[in-house]
Amino acid sequence: MKYVIDTHALIWFLEGNSRLGANANAILSNPDSQLVIPATTLAEAVWIVERGRTSIPSAKNLLSAVEADPRVVISPLDKDVIETTMSLSAINEMHDRQIAATVLVLTSKDEDVQLLTCDLNITASGLVPIIW
């Protein structure tokens, strides 16, 4: 099983924020978890950190924490993700579409994948399997 990480899940885990769901926290704390961070998630997290909307001191700290975790793979925002995004009209926010599309692209490659998110924009769509 691989777990795709949404922006809030990433930030809240790195902060130790209590808003992180118990199941998501258990997965992110497990040293054997296979974690996938979509490029969109990482870019959005950097944006949030740069605006001071998190306790993470700097974007450099965020990137260092991600790079230091051997469980993490960064998934690119590539043509497959963009093409899949175009069919996700049930999700009305572009970044959320890209994150959900990453799950669907990995699934289409026979990966067993679930998304760690509490984002209502994504969860209400019912398009991807979610853990929180």
Domain ranges of the chain: 2-131
Give tens-digit pLDDT for 53-75: 999 999 999 999 999 999 999 99
Give tens-digit pLDDT for 71-126: 999 999 999 999 999 999 999 999 999 999 999 999 999 999 999 999 999 999 99
- CATH class of residue range 2-131: alpha beta
Half-sphere exposure of residue 111: CA atoms within 13 angstroms, side-chain side: 20
Quote the pTM value: 0.95
User: Who's near 1: CB < 8 A, 6+ residues apart?
Assistant: 34, 112, 113, 114
